[in-house]
Amino acid sequence: MSVKDILKDKASSVLSIEEDKNVLEATQMMVGAKVGSLIVTFQGKLVGIFTERDLMRVVAKDHANLDKIKLKDVMTTQLTVAGPDEDVDDILNNMITKRFRHMPVLDGDKIIGLISIGDAVKTKLTRTQAEMSILREYMYGPH
C-alpha cells in the first residue's frame, strides 16, 4: 500500500502556515484544527514543519513571548519527506527509526499531504487484518 492510498482516506486539505507567522498563531491554528503539526511554507513552498514537540521547546524556553517568536526561528527544517508512490512500510520504518511522527508528502515540489505515524499504523493494521482474513478463509474455508 502506498502513501497516496493513505492520503485518499484523509481530508484533502493540507494545513500550512507561512514562516513569518508567530508561534501563538500556529498554536491557535493547531488547536482549532485538532492537529499536532503544521506544514510551514515560504511563498507556498515547503520550508519546515511546526509540531507539538517544537512548541514544547519554545514554551520551556520562552513561554511569555509566543506572540513574538517567528516560526522560521523555531520550526523543524531537517525534514524527511515522502513521495506519493512510497510504500507505507518504508514510511513507518523511517518514522520509527528517526523518531518523528509527521511526514510531509510531496509530488515534485508540490505539497500534496501530511501523514502521521497514526495514519501509517492504521493503514498497516488494516492491510494486515485483510491478509489474515484471506489466509483464514484459504485454510479453513468461508465461515
pLDDT of residue 131: 83
Instruction: Give the angle subtended at the CA of 108 by the CAs of 107 and 111, to the nearest 5°.
Output: 50
What are the tens digits of pLDDT across the range 33-54? 999 999 999 999 999 999 999 9
Cα–Cα nearest to 86, from 55, 65, 113, 66: 113
pLDDT of residue 12: 67
Domains, the chain, ordered by start: 1-138 (3.10.580.10)
Strand-pair category, 37-42 with 16-18: parallel
Q: Average model confidence (pLDDT) for the chain?
A: 92
Q: Is the alpha carbon torsion for 63, 68, 69, 70 positive or negative? A: positive
Note the pTM of the prediction, 2 decimals: 0.85
Please answer whether residues 50 and 38 qualify as being in contact, where contact means their C-beta atoms are separated by less than 8 angstroms. yes
The grid coordinates listed for 63 are 513561554
